[in-house]
Structure 1
């Protein structure tokens, strides 16, 4: 059962900080919150405080999906490991000062060990997604750890993720490119906090196949100023249409694993 303890957000909760590794006798206190504690934010956001045990070095990317059990021990979500009935959510990203490349939702590489982190279960959030179908209000697991998918028809054998929605199959915006440079500038068509996100695949005139977003520079108020790509542009371009896929904004409504497809 649950017991109400407070009616306000827990002071000090920062969903973009990963705590650990927590080692007995190290002098590093942890966990800093009760497992299962909930913190709120803007745009209806809710995060749940969970434990994460890593057996090997792991890079956490914004939008990776996790499931957690009744003891709030989390694991990266895959079809093979998914447990119907467990709740799930996404890693929003690791904190960096908002004026530095990476912004407030960057990736983080962790050594093997025990960690504690906040996983988002409600509101607008980045989501790693293989295929997105607009207004489906359901997704499914994949064989890739941390990646979901939302095809028009369910894939047999996957686990359904209830209560998650994508507004579109991709995200488009315009940017300026310089031949031989990996930097996109002059961005237009973006909203603060709504992407694009690190790890997303991008396509457009003068952008080589397989190129992804490797870094994002934000203004202090969270507006994207420039984007760094994993490969250089091959043309000079103004207001080129860029299409991003693979990591998209999702609406989370306390998702859970509802059934076997």
Structure 2
């Protein structure tokens, strides 16, 4: 299973570039596409071009959920602000492989201002999910902006996200740890499009509880070279099994907010 990493060439669009901030009179070019423009790509993907207005500094992470209005003004999805009937999708990332420090799964911190971004509404994509069960039968909003939930049964007062399902509740891969280092190397069963993904919670021998993936480093050819953890390993380990949860591969089918649970 893999996520989408490209759009059609004819549009010249790049889903991993955030345009802006747009400041009137600054000489910075305005939006390059009409709001609501749709671009297709691999893995049955579709991206929608939306405006994003940020009131304060905000970090966008691949897999975060957004909703957008009929005027294609996007906002981070949260239960309190969710509007039933609004379309929704995920942020794909902020840069594009091959680079040594980036790839199609990097976070970006933006100052307050007006931006234009591509949000994925169809195909396979990383998605933030706080809780997932083996059944993965329900997708719903949460109180945390950009974070969805996928419990076995609906949570009262949340809002349902229709037309999305998840490949699995977790992902496993192998890695080498060094005591006192935050780097995972000699990786097995990983790929830029297949994950694991930035923000995922990881566990394994020698990995402290509560550790997440804070960065991914790529080779010049675009393969994953190493993974940066949010904490240092507490033991040396070779080919340990690492389990990643919280950022899962989702299949989006033009999801929308369908009802209040």
Q: Give the conservation status (yes or no) of the 8 Å contact 2:138–2:154.
A: no
Give me the CA root mean square deviation. 1.5
1:45 is displaced (CA, Å) by 1.2
CA distance, structure 2, for counterparts of residue 122 and residue 221 of structure 1: 27
Bigger mean CA deviation after superposition, 9-18 or 153-162? 9-18
1:123 matches 2:115: no
Which string of whole-angstrom CA distances, capped at 9 and with x for unpartnered residues, describes residues 46-92 of structure 1? 10000001111111111110000100000000000000111000001
Q: Give the conservation status (yes or no) of the 8 Å contact 1:193–1:223.
A: no
Pairing of 1:51-90 with structure 2 (within 5 A):
51-90=51-90
CA distance, structure 1, for counterparts of residue 137 and residue 36 of structure 2: 25
SS of corresponding position for 1:80: helix
SS of corresponding position for 1:13: coil
CA distance, structure 2, for counterparts of residue 223 and residue 159 of structure 1: 38
1:46–1:220 Cα change, 3 Å: farther
TM-score by length of 2: 0.93
Q: Give the conservation status (yes or no) of the 8 Å contact 1:98–1:217.
A: no
CA distance, structure 2, for counterparts of residue 138 and residue 119 of structure 1: 22
Number of aligned positions between the proteins: 254
CA distance, structure 2, for counterparts of residue 25 and residue 207 of structure 1: 50
CA distance, structure 2, for counterparts of residue 167 and residue 197 of structure 1: 14
CA distance, structure 2, for counterparts of residue 168 and residue 259 of structure 1: 24
Which stretches in structure 2 are left out of the alignment for 5+ residues? 1-7
1:16 matches 2:38: no
Pairing of 1:132-211 with structure 2 (within 5 A):
132-134=132-134, 136=136, 138-211=138-211
1:174 is displaced (CA, Å) by 0.8
1:211–1:34 Cα change, 3 Å: same
Bigger mean CA deviation after superposition, 218-227 or 137-146? 218-227
1:39–1:237 Cα change, 3 Å: same
Q: Where does residue 111 of structure 1 map in the other structure?
A: 111
1:237 is displaced (CA, Å) by 0.6
